[in-house]
Each structure stands twice: as C-alpha cells, then as structure tokens.
Amino acid sequence: MPQISMNSPVGAITIFEFDGQIVALDWGFVDEMETSPVLEEAKKQLNAYFSGQLDTFGTRWYRLPEGRLGRHVQDPQGQNRNL
C-alpha cells in the first residue's frame, strides 16, 4: 500500500493510499515510503491546511458509509479524537 510520512504542527503523520484514495492517516513515520500522485497531492493540501491557506480538501479521501462510526484514537498530546 503506498504511504508517505510528513512533519506537521500536530506531529509526524503518515498518509496511506489504496486504490487511488486516501484511506488512513496515522501518527509517526514509516520506515519505507512509496509515494504516488494522490499522496503527493494530499501532502500538499495538508501543508496548505496547516498553514491556514486551505479549509476544504480536494484529494479523493475515502469516506465512511453514512451512519458508520470511525475509530476512536488518542493524539500525541493524549487528547481523545474520533476519526
């Protein structure tokens, strides 16, 4: 599965792609990265978001079916988040 890591204001994150869509973000870096045009665009958009230049994402992000809950995670600062 193609994946790239990047630094962000909330810590290191890794972006995962499957079948031309962003399917996951996770904390930290991966040892082996395999990029793609979709991942590079997602990284570009995330950097623009964190710099305050973007508030709507245009890359193909996978969306959970309506009514399905995402998973519950804890960010690096220990705050609980729902994905």
**Segment 25-75, tens digit of pLDDT:** 899 999 899 999 999 999 999 999 999 998 877 766 655 555 444 444 445
The pLDDT of residue 20: 85
Structural domain spans, the chain: 3-63
Judged by phi (left if over 0) then psi (alpha if -120 to 50, else beta), residue 29 lies in beta
Q: What is the DSSP letter of 1?
A: -
The domain made up of 3-63 has a fold known as: Double Stranded RNA Binding Domain (3.30.160)
- Predicted TM-score (pTM) above 0.75: no
Cα-to-chain-centroid distance, residue 19: 15
Judging by beta carbons within 10 Å of its beta carbon (0-12, 13-18, 19+), is residue 15 exposed, middle or buried?
buried
The pLDDT of residue 67: 47
| Distance in angstroms (rounded) separating the CA atoms of residues 66 and 60 | 17
